[in-house]
Structure 1
Amino acid sequence: MVVVSATTFNKEIAIRRRISSIFNKREDDFPSLREYNDYLEEVEDMTTNLIEGIDVPAIEVKIAKYQEENAEQIMINRARKAEELAAAMAASKGQPVQTDTDGATSQSSQAGIGAGAPGHYAPTVPGGQPRPTGMAPQPIPVGVGPEGYAADDEEMMKLRAERGGKAGGWSIELSKRRAIEEAFGSIWI
Structure 2
Amino acid sequence: MNKEIAVRRRIQGIYNKREEDFPSLRDYNDYLEEVEDMIFGLIEGVDVAKIDEKISRYQQENFEAILASRARRAEEQAAALRAEKRLLAGGGGAAAAASGEPAASVALQNTASQAPSGQYAPTMLLQPRPSGQPVPLGAPSLLNGNGEPEDEESRRLREERGVKAGGWTPELGRRRAYEESFNSIWVN
TM-score range relative to shorter protein: 0.5 to 0.7
Listed as ranges, the gaps of 5+ residues in structure 2 are 90-95, 109-123, 143-148
Structure having the larger proportion of residues in helix:
2
What is residue 60 of structure 2 aligned with on the other side?
A: 68
Listed as ranges, the gaps of 5+ residues in structure 1 are 1-8, 97-107, 124-130, 141-145
Q: SS of the counterpart of 2:34?
A: helix
How many residue pairs are counted as aligned between the two chains?
147
**C-alpha deviation, 1:91, in angstroms:** 2.8
What amino acid is aligned across from residue 182 of structure 1 in structure 2?
R
Aligned sequence identity (%): 43
Contact 2:88 2:128 in 1 (8 A): no
What amino acid is aligned across from residue 169 of structure 1 in structure 2?
V
What is residue 135 of structure 1 aligned with on the other side?
A: 128
What is residue 43 of structure 1 aligned with on the other side?
A: 35
Deviations 1:142-174 (A, max 9, x none): xxxx89699x6xxx6883863552341259xx6
**C-alpha deviation, 1:14, in angstroms:** 0.8
Shift in CA distance, 167/30, structure 1 to aligned 2, threshold 3 Å: same
Q: What is the alpha-carbon distance in structure 2 between the residues aligned to residue 84 and residue 147 of structure 1?
A: 36
Q: TM-score, normalised by structure 1?
A: 0.59
**C-alpha deviation, 1:122, in angstroms:** 7.2
Q: What is the alpha-carbon distance in structure 2 between the residues aligned to residue 33 and residue 166 of structure 1?
A: 57
Shift in CA distance, 183/122, structure 1 to aligned 2, threshold 3 Å: farther
Deviations 1:73-99 (A, max 9, x none): 101101111121222233334169xxx
Contact 1:91 1:122 in 2 (8 A): yes
What amino acid is aligned across from residue 31 of structure 2 in structure 1?
Y
> Does 1:54 find its partner at 2:46?
yes
Q: TM-score, normalised by structure 2?
A: 0.60
What is residue 6 of structure 1 aligned with on the other side?
A: none
